[in-house]
Amino acid sequence: MSNQLTDEEIAVYLLKTGEDKYFTELVDRYKDKIFNFTVRYLSSREDSEDITEDIFVKVYFKIDKFDQNKGSFKTWLYRIARNTIYNKLKEKKITKISYVDIYTNELDENINIENDEIVQSAINKLKKEQKTIILLYYIEGLKYREIAEILNIPENTVKTKIRRAKEILKNELSKYF
């Protein structure tokens, strides 16, 4: 399939034709990103693999709910991922969150972090929505607009929540560095 097609075009073709090749293309484009997103929330790679699979099953069966006039396919997919993860966390009462590959310069260039456990501990003190925003912005590299669409909040609220979360993290991490 041509990589020239946008995600939205592929989603529309999938909706219109039901052909699996379009779904396979979307999975190929996003499976690693979604898996990495889930593994940052969960301490188990097995749980992350299962949830990633669940997310794509939901995408397949809910593709008719995708409306490109309301946002991009990417933000719609991450909204499904976030909701699926939250439901899994509630269901399993998972409290430990594993953050892999968090580098200080992504949060603040003035903090020199060598111990991910300290960073994880600081991030665990954030509210659930703040954790999500930090993950989406710093780890997944999404733009404010995309995060706003995923969380269904105004873009300025995203900016404010990132700023507040960074202040909390700086305060927590200043105890160690």
Q: What is the pLDDT of residues 138-172, one digit of tens each?
A: 777 888 999 999 999 999 999 999 988 888 888 88
Choices 3.20.20.60, 3.50.50.60, 2.60.40.1080, 1.10.10.10: CATH for 101-177:
1.10.10.10
44-80 burial, b at 16+ Cβ within 10 Å, e below that, comes to eeebbeebbebbbebbeeebeebeeeebbbbbbbbeb
Does this model's pTM top 0.75? My answer is no
CATH 1.10.10.10 region(s) of the chain?
101-177
User: Going by CATH, does the domain composed of 1-98 fall within 3.40.710.10?
Assistant: no
